[in-house]
Amino acid sequence: MLSPAQINYVQYAVQAVGLAVVAKVAITFVSAIYAFFLRPGKKLTKYGKWAIVTGATDGIGKATALELARKGMNVALISRTQSKLDEAATEILAKYGSIQVKTLALDCNNLDEAACTKVKTLLAELGDVGVLINNVGQSYDFPQYAHELSDEAARNLITMNITSTFLMTKLVLPGMVERKRGAIVNCSSGSARIACPLLSEYSAAKKCIEQYTLGVAGEYASKNIHIQCQTPMFVTSKLSKIRHASFMVPSPSTYAKAAVASIGYETIISPYWPHALQLYVFGLFPDFIVSKLALSSHLGLRARALKKQQQKKD
């Protein structure tokens, strides 16, 4: 039996915990409102004159390059196909003729010594590289069980999502260290933040990018180099295979505006606020529930993809 004094102590303790929880929620809410709706974007040219964007001819990559150009940065586009690079460069210059655009055709699935030499040559030509957007990546053709992935697909997922980010960051950092300024954005995925069955290797590769960013961000913060990991959910693109934009699935241009506005702030962020809200809600549930929901959704996508494959064969 508790004494009156002990009961009062328990009541005070419960009240204190309750107040702490309410305060945390309130601070999180106010911080989110400021970050997503009130906070101004940084002046990106303070990092340098040039921004490099990998995977820059489609989707988020091209939209990000356009947004960086709108902010007054010269942009260097890296992607595999020169004809697509030329088209993207022409589009950017048609809208923002006062900036410069350079291109480099590079297969990020084959980053051998010759490829790295090409990047080093580009860096020497550009000189003042202030921003690097490690956007290039690869997902599954459709949701698959881990044992169904071909050896080539498994290797490509690692090379495109991890190796390219590691190498591009390593190549750009020496110049940023010398100039004592810079910003690097590593593009991960919301799938790295939740259980993601049938996209297991992709989500694991993107989780690697998140962890890598946390490490190098700590290493280079004192050198005035900000390194950030952005974790979008679905965006209309060839990668997601979603064609029509909606509130929760923005167009690349809508997403890119939020992504560029977030450069230089948090180390890990989902810059488009409806995506951040989705991840927050997922975080309220146990992993096994999120896993079941994701599995159910991905099984539906898988069934439709397999049906299309069969129809093509017939």
**In this structure, which amino acid lies at residue 132?**
L
| pLDDT-based confidence at residue 5 (cuts at 50, 70, 90) | confident
Per-residue pLDDT at 50 exceeds 90: yes
For residues 213 and 161, the answer to whether their CB atoms sit within 8 Å is: no
| Across 264-271, average pLDDT | 98
Q: How confident is the model at residue 206 (pLDDT cuts 50, 70, 90)?
A: very high
Domain ranges for the chain: 42-311
Q: What is the pLDDT of residues 297-310, one digit of tens each?
A: 999 999 999 999 88
Average pLDDT over residues 240-246: 83
Task: List, by residue number, the catalytic residues.
Answer: 202
- 103: which strand partners? 77
Among 29-33, 58-62, 92-96, 198-202, which stretch is predicted with the lowest mean pLDDT? 29-33
Task: Show the tokens assigned to 91.
Answer: 């589009």
Distance CA 43, CA 72 (A): 9
Q: Which residue has the higher pLDDT, 55 or 6?
A: 55
Find the mean pLDDT for residues 54-81: 98
Q: What is the spatial distance between Cα 187 and Cα 241, in angstroms, rounded to a whole number?
A: 18
79 SS3 class? strand
pLDDT, position 2: 60
Domain 42-311, CATH homologous superfamily name and number: NAD(P)-binding Rossmann-like Domain (3.40.50.720)
Quick check: 10 pLDDT over 90?
A: no
